[in-house]
Structure 1
Amino acid sequence: MLTLPTRDNRLEAYRLVGTPLTRRAPRVPLTRTAFAAAHVVSDPLRGRSPWDTRPAIDWKATLAFRQRLWDQGLGLAEAMDTAQRGMGVDWPTARELIERTMAAARAHPMAPRVACGAGTDHKTLAETASADSVRAAYEEQMEAIEAAGGQVIVMATRALPAMGAGPDAYRAVYRHLIDGAREPVILHWLGEMFDPALKGYWGFDDVTAASDFVLDLIAENPAKVDGIKISLLDRAHEEAFRARLPDGVRLYTGDDFNYADLIAGDGVRYSHALLGIFAAIAPAACQALEALAEGDMAAYHRIFAPTVPLSREIFRAPTRYYKAGIVFLAWLNGDQPHFIMPAGLQSSRDIVHYSEVFRLADAAGLLSRPGLAEARMRVLLALHGIE
């Protein structure tokens, strides 16, 4: 029995009620491409001055977490915002992460699919104050990803909004990157709720105008665009956008609020997945997608339904701090020995939030080792003065 705080400033007794889902591979090939965006595990014993220096990474635990995702049939979106790009993890660390991950993927028996984030974060905003300098910065990271054997995800850059770039600058940069990539790329439209510095991306404040621009950009060379990940947390927009995509170009949902319905689709069109929440709910994601592939929609919705409130809590505003909830669950489930994040980001959420995540993860069957989860939650509560 635990004593958990509530949002109305009470303390209440809580007893675990969930039945943990088994971590396993899917029985059948999945009918949706599913990438889980994974976090990195810190090494708190080697970290020094965590706000001002490169993060110290526990490579063994970081790669072991990826192995567990692959073992459950999921692909991996590497070195993305879930891995704290721009929020504690720099490009040299991300590059090493990509190289280590690609080596591990080549050795994995399931030959997992891995796509890796390319950005401009190794350059300062002063160094990327023109379209040409932004393009060159992207190319440097894309070349490193391709050399490691990864597929490129062209992440949104803070540099273009910072210079007040208009659509012509976006077209000049993205046209060059898409056309020059070795293999088809995945574009990434990350909304300002995930990163306020991305407001007005694509050169438009109006989402309809921005959508028209991106669709025209893709239509100019659809053979070099695998798909686009949209993270705007707007189901209606995503459904309308994917209906306009050229044949063969995927919509990868990044909507951590509405993924279950978007992946299921409307009977004609559906979304694939590139989601941070899938790293936290991997057993449910694997088994729900398995049910979808088997045509069992009742099981699909039954498995996914309790994960949606959990995801909405983890991604609640300020949404950019969602990484803390992902790492919290990894700690509760024994996937890492501590709850310490690069740049100390575990402090970005409060104990009431973590208590609600605990309740909802239990209800969704996602506390894989209930005894360990309860013991670790008790430690966190004690640190907050709750005995």
Structure 2
Amino acid sequence: MQIRRVRNDEAEIRRYVTDCWLSFQEDLTGAEETHALADDATEAAVEYHLEELDSPESRLWVALDGVGEEMASLSTVDGTFAGLVRTQTHQSPQRFDWPDRLEIEDCWVRERYRGTGLADDLFARAVQHAREDGCPEFTLTVGVDNERAVGYYEKLGFEVQGFGMRVPVEDLRLSLDEGPAGDATTHLRRVRAEEPVLRRFIEECWLPFWQEMSEAVGEQHLDPELDREELLERLVESYDTPDRRCWVGLDDAEDPATPLEDVAATFAGWINAGLAPIDPFLDPPERLFVGNLYAGPDYRGTGLADQLVARAMQYAREEGCIELVLGVEAGNDRALAYYEKLGFEPYEQRMAVPLDELELSATSPGSHY
């Protein structure tokens, strides 16, 4: 058994896609209800991996069994592709007090090689990558119905950190019957990508949201030395796109001509949403991703949260999206209960483990062979 790195070379990647990746995807389609390949997946996957492996932060290894000529090119080698692992380093954004993380993007072992220790050998390469890049934590995302994969990751020491949840737009259970306006006393204004508006938004919406998030899950999220100017620059950039929207709820009617940064009303809550990115080789339904939803403590139970979600639902319909998706932290029980009440169900889970707590049966690459 050899473990070889796949280089950013079209011939190598094409061989990897046809002899390894497609089998991996077929397994995922059988294990995860929401996973479906597009009809023209092969070419899209080759282009995708060429782009991904062009980054020094990304690495991909494959396990080869029965190799005839050990030094043969990966594009022509005579052997069986027995498994794979793909990793990527994610540096913590400056505004958050998180460690740098190594994301396990893909990990798979062909069925007849399961139980041989090959999965641990592949993970040992990921451990090596994490140590070389100074990442103290592993993260990954796995479908909640992929029980075999979840069981393996739990055996390694991974714990659930959060959930991806979804609901068909037509199944969303809102208490509002009159569209986005509803009966709430607040009214909504769109936050535009303008510095004066976003300066106020940061202080009255963004910071309270993340401060409460830290309290809810018992983990510090914000960098104590947060650079507000750097944050402002990033928000202007992220909201200055055609496929993303942000609204705030104001607790008192105002002249709609008054600039948002000057209104006397309180910013009672906010929501941002955008078209969910889609891997070019997958065939999921069009989805609207809800990035953040927040109602201030004084406005909970007033219908504001439903009003904000209803606006996102209208946005989804305008864009032809048939599902809403979002992420929620595992310890945020209040948010989780609210989303379940709306009809959201988990479809994937985010898991993590500190590097020094990973429970591998192998401590060095290739130790089983």
Q: Taking structure 2 as the reference length, what is the TM-score of the superposition?
A: 0.29
- TM-score between the two structures when normalised by the length of structure 1: 0.28
More strand by share: 2
Larger RCO: Structure 1 or Structure 2 (Cα < 8 Å, ≥ 6 residues apart)?
A: 2
Q: Which is richer in helix?
A: 1
